[in-house]
Amino acid sequence: MSRVRTAVLISGRGTNLAALIEAARAPDYPAEIALVISNRHESAGLAVARAAGIPAQIILHQDYDSREAFDRAIDVAVRVSSISLVCAAGFMRIHSEWFVRQWEGRLINIHPSLLPAFPGIKVHERVLQAGERISGCTVHFVTPELDSGPIIAQATVAVLPGDTRETLAERVLAEEHKLYPQALAMVASGRVKLENDRAIFRDSSTDCSSLRHAPL
């Protein structure tokens, strides 16, 4: 079976990266994590990649004078490694429109809310402040507008009385670690595709694997 060569873009601790690497150890997983790129020297995720024997590169955004110039450097690095799919996993840079167009349908991201609610940063604080009873996470195709591309998969998490930003973040993160590998598998195997700005699911009438509900 040929597996889809996938790059993961990170900025921080890399727990989603670790979940993707773990899932990709299964011989029948349709993607291979073939490259990791961080825009920060101190990303703990770099060590996660190296421990798994995956090439890890640092491309510092501050070395480039525009968003697009930085993205072009990433583009060169992934193409040199014959990458076909790119996953952003805690990558704290907004992509240029140029990069998004280059990788349209092959660039996905995970966000710790039930999009389209709560895009952007400080998600869990805002969820708690708004008094939401349900939160969760979303994997979506990346489009030029931040955190608003077509949704591939979502998981829900109950917001519990007494939750703090930390406790809610921890429960959402545990779901992210299950959802992202499922969503990447769906994209890599062609079970979902981006077409005319929509996520199109093969066998959508019977396939509920893009929805997860965390038990209370």
Task: State the number of binding residues for ligand GRF (CB under 6 A).
Answer: 16
Which of 106, 111, 124, 171: binder of ligand GRF (CB under 6 A)?
Answer: 111
Report yes or no: 45 and 13 within 8 Å, Cβ to Cβ. yes
> Least CB distance from residue 91 to ligand GRF, whole Å?
7
Nearer to ligand GRF, 14 or 181 (CB): 14
Nearer CB in complex with ligand GRF: 79/89: 89
Query: In angstroms, what is the minimal distance from the CB of 115 to ligand GRF?
Result: 11
| Binding mask of the shown chain, residues 49 to 78, with x at each position contacting ligand GRF by CB under 6 A | ------------------------------
Burial of residue 129, with CB atoms counted within 10 A of its CB: 0-12 exposed, 13-18 middle, 19 or more buried: exposed
Q: Binding segment for ligand GRF among 5-13, 28-36, 48-56, 189-197 (CB under 6 A)?
A: 5-13
Q: Which of 41, 61, 95, 111 is catalytic?
A: 111
Report the C-alpha gap between 129 and 156 in whole angstroms.
18
Contact by Cβ (8 Å): 54, 34: yes
Do residues 191 and 203 touch, judged by C-beta distance below 8 A?
yes
Of 12, 55, 105, 144, the residue at the interface with ligand GRF (CB under 6 A) is: 12
113 contacts ligand GRF (rule: CB under 6 A)? no
Concerning whether 177 is annotated as a catalytic residue, the answer is no
Q: Which residues bind ligand GRF (CB under 6 A)?
A: 10, 12-17, 45, 89-90, 110-112, 137, 173, 176
Q: What residues are labeled active site?
A: 111
